[in-house]
A = this chain, B = another copy of it.
């Protein structure tokens, strides 16, 4: 057996901590090992990741550092799992630093999942740098990264002809972690929702990236994109383990995007995330020959799946040719380092 993949966790917020928990759990397979942890938060720096995870875990000896350059140099990781923020213009410097150290990167940065539309210049620069240093970089996660893009594209793989692709994701936000409930505005008044929406950084990040991903995968040029974000209002009081939504207030979001090809709305992604959503699911409907009606019943549970898609991308990015990749460039995602008898 080859030696374990040494992973540097860059960003130890909720997703980063969940990644660390998963990596530590998988260490017994001998296929990967946590090599270091980076975060700029003063209340995390210098603390053992086990302490941050809580639950009485034994110390790992791996302390959070705010000096990425030093940790990269000292730990010489095989891969960086990067989970800081959603926006590429804020994180490209972090990613470039890893690339320049010759380390491949798997990032949860939503805008990196398909960055060529929103950030063509940054994408070209990252690609050039990655090629120069011989490493692959990918942005991924459950959404964007899997549910509404990679799975949607995969569904067309059995078609000789495709004329439309529509993806639907319905999430009962009331059953997700608190940050997700806050992210979708659960509990806000309709007025507060509109104020947040006006900031331009509210709602789900990545829908536009997923749409352009599917269009690119099919080779369809988009001539127009129509994106809509609306609140879903509670028609009765809703209680979650973390908050209460008064009747008439916001239970969550309905976020959708439509891509027009040749003047017709041929691609659409429709995302509902609100407390109390009925029939949670991920669905892909391909109008084609043959038609495809794919559904993941109950939906893909995002809190866990985000971490899974990131960790499962590690071996794929390690074996990829150098450059900025998307999930359509990498082999079919599959579970990594899952021992059937470890459960």
A328–B328 contact, CB under 8 A? no
CB within 8 Å of B: which A265-307 residues? 266, 288-298, 300-301, 304-305, 307
A331–B334 contact, CB under 8 A? no
B158–A308 contact, CB under 8 A? yes
Residue of B nearest to A21 (CB): B160
Let me know if A199 is at the binding interface, CB within 8 A.
no
Q: Which residues of B contact A334 (CB under 8 A)?
A: 153-154, 156-157, 217-218, 328
CB distance from A107 to the nearest CB of B (A): 17
Let me know if A94 is at the binding interface, CB within 8 A.
no
Residue of B nearest to A164 (CB): B340
Let me know if A109 is at the binding interface, CB within 8 A.
no
B307–A160 contact, CB under 8 A? yes
Interface string of A237-254 (1 = CB under 8 A from B): 000000000000000000
Copies assembled: 2
Number of A residues with CB within 8 Å of any CB on chain B? 63
Let me know if A335 is at the binding interface, CB within 8 A.
yes
Interface string of A9-43 (1 = CB under 8 A from B): 00000000000001001100001000000000000
Q: Which residues of B contact A288 (CB under 8 A)?
A: 335, 338
Let me know if A163 is at the binding interface, CB within 8 A.
yes
B328–A331 contact, CB under 8 A? yes
| 8 chain-A/chain-B pairs, Cβ below 8 angstroms | A156-B334, A160-B338, A162-B338, A218-B335, A218-B340, A289-B304, A290-B301, A327-B332
Closest A-B pairs by Cβ, 7 of them? A157-B333, A290-B301, A156-B335, A158-B305, A162-B338, A160-B308, A293-B297
| Residues in chain A within 8 A of chain B (CB atoms) | 22, 25-26, 31, 142, 146-147, 150-151, 153-154, 156-164, 217-220, 261-262, 264, 266, 288-298, 300-301, 304-305, 307-309, 311-312, 327-335, 337-338, 340-343
